[in-house]
Amino acid sequence: MTERVAGPEIERLIQLLARLPGLGPRSARRAALHLIRKREELLAPLAGALQAAHDKIVTCSVCGNIDVSDPCAICADPRRDGETIVVVETVGDLWALERAGVLNARYHVLGGALSPLDGIGPDDLNIAQLVARVAEGGVKEVILAVNATVDGQTTAHYVAELLSPYDVKCSRLAHGVPVGGELDYLDEGTLAAALRSRTNL
Ligand SMILES: [Zn+2]
């Protein structure tokens, strides 16, 4: 048990900060002190931003993305290619793909991956909604941009199988050498996948 160093409001702030991913008790204390020192420039706007996020954030009923409107800005954007749906595990993955800026497609957030060991089955994920979107028609390709993990790949195969009755192309991301990667540093699994997914020059 650590000794209390400050009043209950400050202790509570530290305890809550310590629950953020990547922050332990030590960095939470440092973050809390920093916020307190920058009370007007940082603490007050952060408190406001947290409250506004809490009040406004909704889950998109079409794709499962989070935004401040339903449907989300991506689903509501008429310039987005409605013929391609990119399936991701989490909103974080959607954000990563948007940062890459390569696609102008729409998304579908599953909310995780199938994981028999963790007891996560199809009904725990946003899969039925994806099938319904495809069944509505107008979708030509579903890109399964799931993680290159056993669970991710199991999920990709499961979803592709479910979509096989529909006239839609299912693809997945290539596995292989990362941009800037040196072969000597890659694990055998990645190298083998890269060789299997080789492309013509
Ligand atoms: Zn959406």
Output the tens digit of pLDDT for each of the chain's 201 residues: 556 667 899 999 999 999 999 998 999 999 999 999 999 999 999 999 999 999 999 999 999 999 999 999 999 999 999 999 999 999 999 999 999 988 899 999 999 999 989 999 999 999 999 999 999 999 999 999 999 999 999 999 999 999 999 999 999 999 899 889 899 999 998 999 899 989 899
Q: How far is the CA of 160 from the centre of ligand 1 (A)?
A: 21
Give residue for tokens 């994981």: 115
d(CA 94, CA 18) in angstroms, rounded, equals 26
Q: What is the DSSP letter of 173?
A: -
- The whole-number pLDDT of residue 2 equals 55
- The whole-number pLDDT of residue 109 equals 98
Q: How far is the CA of 97 from the centre of ligand 1 (A)?
A: 15
d(CA 8, CA 115) in angstroms, rounded, equals 41
Q: How far is the CA of 105 from the centre of ligand 1 (A)?
A: 11
- The whole-number pLDDT of residue 138 equals 94
Those residues whose beta carbon sits under 5 angstroms from the ion ligand 1 are 60, 62-63, 65, 71-72, 75
Give residue for tokens 């993305």: 65
- The whole-number pLDDT of residue 4 equals 66
pTM of the complete model: 0.84
d(CA 160, CA 74) in angstroms, rounded, equals 23
Q: How far is the CA of 136 from the centre of ligand 1 (A)?
A: 16
Give residue for tokens 């499961």: 158
Q: How far is the CA of 106 from the centre of ligand 1 (A)?
A: 8
pLDDT tens-digit series, residues 46-88: 999 999 999 999 999 999 999 999 999 999 999 999 999 999 9
d(CA 200, CA 164) in angstroms, rounded, equals 28
Q: How far is the CA of 186 from the centre of ligand 1 (A)?
A: 36
d(CA 57, CA 97) in angstroms, rounded, equals 21
Q: How far is the CA of 73 from the centre of ligand 1 (A)?
A: 7
